[in-house]
Structure 1
Amino acid sequence: MADHSLLSAFLLGVIEGITEFLPISSTGHLIIAEQWLGQRSDTFNIVIQAGAILAVTIIYWRRLMDLALGWREPKNFQYAAKLMLAFLITAVLGLIVKKMGFELPENASPIAWALVIGGIWMIVAEWAAAKRPQSTEITWLVAVLVGIAQVIAGVFPGTSRSASTIFIAMLAGTGNRAAATEFAFLVGIPTMYAASGYQLLKTVNENGFAGEDWASLGVAFVTSTVVAFIAVKWLLSYIQTNRFTVFAIYRIILGIALLGMAYSGIIA
């Protein structure tokens, strides 16, 4: 049983690491995977997400240090201010959404639809962004819309935080894939740390750590960190010369397959 638990933790760590920052929805993949690998605790889900965030923090540590130490430079100050604005919008709207209790059931059908619709949206958005002048500038409008997009992605499992933020940035004026992706990922660092910290405190206050499998948590955390590091490094290289089309097609195919399995009763 222990071996099975460690294997499941490893597989879920791999899934989280690959999907958290690729525009294909980590939440959607994990919810589906748990139907075969078993439901995991809230603490487990927080830990594997923390591993993915740590990986991206390591990748961007030079950029983060540059922004922190060079904040007196107008360019760095404005960029950091836009990151903070996007984060604050997400935090405030996210708390409002939480208080309202507005979220979809975490089962296959709505996730599948979000994957399909999101895939189509990605194709249309990249086509539209390609017609705009190429720009690496992050405007205040981009910051506001990215903040809102993060909340929307949190409400609708399967949407993908990275997909919604990258493509709204591209459509709102940052036509450059690399610039849009960097801003989306940098905003995601404080956002996901804050969300994970909030969720962890809530979980500890309600249930503590009773019954947690620490070995599985450790395996999942390390696996998620290593795999996410590799996946994000690959993505950043890939988008230099390629569009996101392959991810959009994957989402549409996966979403249709999940809809078929859901309607046939194979998955819930």
Structure 2
Amino acid sequence: MIDLLHVILLGIIEGITEFLPISSTGHLLIAEKLGLGHRSDLFNIGIQAGAILAVTLIYWKRIWQLFTQWREPANRDYLLKLMVAFAITAVLGFVAVKMGFRLPETVTPIAWALVIGGLWMIAAEQLAARQPDRNEVTWKVAILVGIAQMIAGLFPGTSRSAATIFAAMLAGTSNRAAATEFAFLVGIPTMYAATGYELLKVVKGGGAAHEDWTALVVGFVVSAVMAFVAVKWLLGYIRTHRFTPFAIYRIVLGIALLLLIPAGA
């Protein structure tokens, strides 16, 4: 029963934090260190897939429009920019893997990333607020969003959604809703590709044979439901509010972790 509760809590954490600008990878590692237990790579992949499915369902009309009406210049241009952003992330991510990059397994770098990222979000939003309100996604935005995704993937605690949303806002798409939509749409193929790659590695390594499939299914469902609720709420929230509360949360959490770590917590 306790293990099932831990699975549900991990699903909740993944679902809420995957698309909010507060870092899901960082929160899952913190949860592990706090005693929710180390889970298999396949489990982590599964709950991430639940969050991806949720945001895919939220944007399914927009995705359908882009692919079925691609002959329209505006849709074709938007789709090409999504593809370029994804391609940049994929190529740079592949290079990082080949170079042997590994994610940190300690809390300290995540704590620093949370603090620095929070301060950067506050400054970036102030700069974006001085720009004219623009919905257009330029090629500059597409390129920088692709690079931002890769950087966020290399440094847990940075937050993929925060990095991509603010890259878009500073590069010219100053409207929060438009920047968030592009960032989330780019994230869908990126995360599906990353999940598929990790799943292939697990299956080839024989990890699937020893998996707790009940825990994986529960975590997947919980993550999907929570991500759906979190993203729906976020899309409504940002229409009239800034991201500043998320930045403050990151800074407070990061400082708390840095203070606790020397004490052995």
Q: Verify the 8 A CA contact 1:21 1:162 in the aligned structure 2.
A: yes
d(CA) in 2 for partners of 1:9, 1:93: 33
Q: TM-score, normalised by structure 1?
A: 0.97
d(CA) in 2 for partners of 1:104, 1:86: 22
Shift of 1:133: 1.0
| Map 1:1-268 → 2, pairs under 5 A | 3-35=1-33, 36-266=35-265
Shift of 1:188: 0.3
d(CA) in 1 for partners of 2:64, 2:137: 19
SS in 1 for 2:71: coil
Q: Once the two structures are superposed, what CA deviation does each residue of 1:153-191 show, in whole Å capped at 9, x if it has no partner?
A: 000010000000000100000100000000000000000
Question: Residue type of the partner of 2:221?
Answer: V
d(CA) in 2 for partners of 1:211, 1:8: 19
d(CA) in 1 for partners of 2:210, 2:50: 21
SS in 1 for 2:161: helix
Moved over 6 A (4+): none
Shift of 1:229: 0.1
d(CA) in 2 for partners of 1:12, 1:247: 20
SS in 1 for 2:205: helix
Shift of 1:203: 1.1
Question: Residue type of the partner of 1:72?
Answer: R
d(CA) in 2 for partners of 1:47, 1:239: 28
d(CA) in 1 for partners of 2:237, 2:105: 31
Question: Residue type of the partner of 2:226?
Answer: V
Q: 5+ residue gaps in structure 1?
A: none
Q: Once the two structures are superposed, what CA deviation does each residue of 1:217-246 show, in whole Å capped at 9, x if it has no partner?
A: 111000000000000000000000000000
Deviation larger for 217-226 or 104-113: 104-113
Percent sequence identity over aligned pairs: 70
Q: TM-score, normalised by structure 2?
A: 0.98
Shift of 1:211: 1.8
Q: 5+ residue gaps in structure 2?
A: none
Shift of 1:254: 0.3
Q: Verify the 8 A CA contact 1:19 1:29 in the aligned structure 2.
A: yes
d(CA) in 2 for partners of 1:198, 1:17: 20
d(CA) in 2 for partners of 1:17, 1:233: 12
> How many corresponding residue pairs?
264
Q: Verify the 8 A CA contact 2:42 2:207 in the aligned structure 1.
A: no
d(CA) in 2 for partners of 1:190, 1:120: 29
Q: Verify the 8 A CA contact 1:112 1:256 in the aligned structure 2.
A: yes
